[in-house]
Amino acid sequence: MKFNTSVTFIFGLAATLLVTSSANAVSDKQRAEIEARIVKTGVVCLDTDSDCGSVAAADAVSVARSGEDVYKAACLACHLTGAGNAPIVGNVEAWSDRIAKGTDVLYDSGINGIPGTGMMARGACMDCSDEEITAAVDYMIANSQ
């Protein structure tokens, strides 16, 4: 909480300085836009107490995200829509042959990807731990059978 607040403060300060140094050249509207942009970049979520509006909050303190959270953050883009022929979560038919391969195979696909397909290692979630990827795979399986 403290860190989050002070980072916001620092960026807020930077915004103020920026705005003050060119006070005459910036309209209120532009100022609001600049502040909005800076604040967005400046809010760094490193704790679990505050609501940062995203699952990223839990990561920095090494609290594993739930499979559902990881799925929503890193997998859903393809596995909800079927982009690149990704098997759609909830489509029992699309998953039955895959599930038949066994969870270890699916975990391996999640962690290491499937070469030559859109399924990249970790679904390209580089800050996802093995544990978080396997939890996401479990979530996908549980919702596709």
Q: Does 103 bind ligand HEC (CB under 6 A)?
A: no
- The separation between CA 113 and the C-alpha centre of its own chain, rounded to angstroms, equals 18
Rounded to whole angstroms, the Cα distance separating 128 from 33 reads 33
Residue 109 and residue 60 in contact, taking contact as beta carbons nearer than 8 Å: no
Q: Does 4 bind ligand HEC (CB under 6 A)?
A: no
Q: Does 55 bind ligand HEC (CB under 6 A)?
A: no
Q: Rg of the chain's alpha carbons, rounded to an integer?
A: 21
Least Å distance, CB 104 to ligand HEC, is 10
Interface positions with ligand HEC (CB under 6 A): 70, 74-75, 77-79, 83-87, 98, 101, 105-106, 109-110, 114, 117-119, 122-125, 128, 133, 136-137, 140
